[in-house]
Amino acid sequence: MRPPPDPLPDDEWARLEGGIAVASSPQVRAAFAEARQRFNNFGGAVFAYQGVLGHPQQTGGAGMQMEESRTRADEAINEAERIMQAELANL
């Protein structure tokens, strides 16, 4: 199982969100919001997983939930990137 990534600092989130709010289409903003929500959900799953690391009978389920949450976050990030790239290609 891959270890979770380090959390993005608040100032980095603010910079990303500010740039997207100012210079993006509604579709990009919606895709980014979905990616951020799924990333936040992943963070919750990481927290739950880390909370059961010392309890082997619970670690498997929490690890599986963390990996599923990671996959959903990755998919949303990839979709947001796809939308952004498509818009840039049309400029």
Q: What is the reported pTM?
A: 0.82
Q: 3-state DSSP call for residue 44? A: helix
What pLDDT is attached to residue 76? 96
Query: 45-56: per-residue pLDDT in tens?
Result: 999 998 888 887
Task: Quickly count: other Cβ atoms within 10 Å of residue 49's Cβ.
Answer: 21
Crossing angle, helix 10-23 and helix 26-51, to 10 degrees? 160
Question: Token pair of 49, please?
Answer: 């997983």
* pLDDT of 1 over the 80 cut: no
